[in-house]
Amino acid sequence: MSENPTEQFQSLGNRPPEEATFFWGGGPIEVAPRTFFQCAFSSCTGFETDDGLVLVDTGLARLAPNLAARLRKRTQAPVHTAIYTHGHVDHAYGLDAFVLPGQAAPRVIAHRAVPDRFARYVQTAGHNAAVNARQFGGTVNLANSAAYESFRVAPTPPTQLYDDRLELEVGGVRFELFHARGETDDHTWVWCPERGVLCTGDLFIWVMPNAGNPQKAQRYPWDWARALRAMAALGATSLCPGHGGPVVGDPEKIRQMLLSSAEFLDALVARTLAVLEDGSPPHVDVVRRVEIPPHDAAWLRPLYDEAEFIIRNVIRYYGGWWSGRPSELKPSPRQAVAREFAAIAGGARALAERAERIAAAGELRTACHLADSALEADPHDAGVREIVAALYEQRAAGESSLMARNLFRAAAAYAREGRPFA
């Protein structure tokens, strides 16, 4: 499987905007006068003014030329100001493609925490390339990893940083920037009152908020909900999301989308804290005891992230990294433990076969614990590798969220290679 998210998503794009989902790719769409939205995996909104363009987000470096070419069908204005909604590679790394030859260097605005994120990516490029490879279902080979190269080089840096709020005027058009912790600690959402356009960054992406991502840094669903409520109060007539298609001319739907997302996050956080309050049970038990709030809306489907992972993220913020299992406080190497289990079972192959039988009886979650031990006990046994890979492929097929599906697919890929997963 490709480690490249753009290849996976391109095949899912090209849907009409009324089917706007995380996977939508299209545009330019004129969401308000002189305001153009386009999306290729991630989005970019260009506000044309008499003094030049205000760009909200710039896409992935490798898809930015495609985004820019589409925007340039509608406007040839030079880039006056670029705003990064946050420092992720799919939002802040594509500016070069939009800048016209010979034009003055644009002003670049971002929240104060963005440069730290860029520095972190340079410092941990190999780690991030591996994390992304797993998130998109593959294994990583740093010698041949485009993701590794992209994390190693910081993008065009911001020329202006702000803390909580910033107002701009460009060519007579006013823009209000608001900081909110949500998917990241460096998020900005943008409101252009006279055009009625709201750019949410990844605080809205047409699927259940990406507030639990298993491999990524802390997320902040409670602040996220507050930001969604603030956005809902604006009466925006157009919403430009971080991923997926825009909503144009339907303020009531926009309000509903934002408020229902806020309600879902608030309820999930409150329910998680209520279980934690009840004697701080082990993490796994918290996850299983939290009743997941209703999330029937099209934009709350767990297609990318999912509630179980958001609960984990809340636990992490309020607690520590320890699972609560005594042996896992200062554990033995995984392989040493796995070999003991295998010895009791009569070998790694026997353990793997037991996992297969348990899975066939419908206990796939439990089967995967045994499968991990079997592979750790003897990663060189081709039979074990095959059984484990097949189990994780089966597991992946039953998952709705991209995170779960792809991490299980990655587990299968790593098993086939006889490599430790993480």
Show the site string, 218-247: x = touches Zn ion by CB under 5 A, - = not. ------------------------x-----
Site for Zn ion in 2-61 (CB under 5 A): 42
**3-state class percentages of the chain: helix first, strand second, coil last, to nearest 5:** 45, 15, 35
Q: How far is the CB of 392 from Zn ion (least distance, A)?
A: 26
Whole-angstrom distance, CA of residue 178 vs CA of residue 268: 24
Tokens of 102: 């010979």
List of E strands, 225-315: 238-241, 247-248
Q: Which amino acid is at 209?
A: P
Q: Closer CB to Zn ion, residue 373 or residue 401?
A: 401
Residue nearest to Zn ion (CB): 202
Residue 265: phi and psi, rounded to 5, are: -65, -45
Number of residues that bind Zn ion (CB under 5 A): 4
Q: How far is the CB of 186 from Zn ion (least distance, A)?
A: 12
Whole-angstrom distance, CA of residue 228 vs CA of residue 38: 22
Looking at 3, 57, 186, 202, which residue binds Zn ion (CB under 5 A)? 202
Q: Closer CB to Zn ion, residue 87 or residue 137?
A: 87
Whole-angstrom distance, CA of residue 182 vs CA of residue 241: 14
Q: Residues 51, 38: contact at Cβ < 8 Å?
A: no
Show the site string, 277-316: x = touches Zn ion by CB under 5 A, - = not. ----------------------------------------
Q: Closer CB to Zn ion, residue 138 or residue 242?
A: 242
Q: Closer CB to Zn ion, residue 25 or residue 242?
A: 242
Q: Closer CB to Zn ion, residue 52 or residue 59?
A: 59
Q: How far is the CB of 241 from Zn ion (least distance, A)?
A: 10
Q: How far is the CB of 351 from Zn ion (least distance, A)?
A: 40
Site for Zn ion in 320-359 (CB under 5 A): none
Whole-angstrom distance, CA of residue 404 vs CA of residue 74: 39
Q: Residues 120, 89: contact at Cβ < 8 Å?
A: no
Q: How far is the CB of 188 from Zn ion (least distance, A)?
A: 13
Residue 173: phi and psi, rounded to 5, are: -105, 135
Q: Closer CB to Zn ion, residue 213 or residue 260?
A: 213
Q: How many CB atoms lie within 10 A of CB 103?
A: 14
Question: What is the C-alpha end-to-end distance of the chain, expressed in Å?
Answer: 17
Q: How far is the CB of 213 from Zn ion (least distance, A)?
A: 11
Q: Closer CB to Zn ion, residue 48 or residue 90?
A: 90
Q: How far is the CB of 281 from Zn ion (least distance, A)?
A: 33
Q: Which residues contact 280 (CB under 8 A, 6 or more apart)?
A: 319, 324
Place of tokens 């430790």: 420
381 lines the binding site for Zn ion (CB under 5 A): no
Stretch of 73-81, 88-96, 128-136, 339-347 lying at the interface with Zn ion (CB under 5 A)? 88-96
Q: Residues 257, 247: contact at Cβ < 8 Å?
A: yes
Distances from the Cα of 288 to the Cα of 291, 292, 303, angstroms: 8, 10, 20
Looking at 3, 48, 57, 90, which residue binds Zn ion (CB under 5 A)? 90
SS3 call for 54: strand
Q: How far is the CB of 177 from Zn ion (least distance, A)?
A: 18
Q: Closer CB to Zn ion, residue 133 or residue 367?
A: 133
Q: Closer CB to Zn ion, residue 210 or residue 272?
A: 210
Q: How far is the CB of 234 from Zn ion (least distance, A)?
A: 22
Whole-angstrom distance, CA of residue 135 vs CA of residue 132: 5
- The footprint of Zn ion (CB under 5 A) covers 42, 90, 202, 242
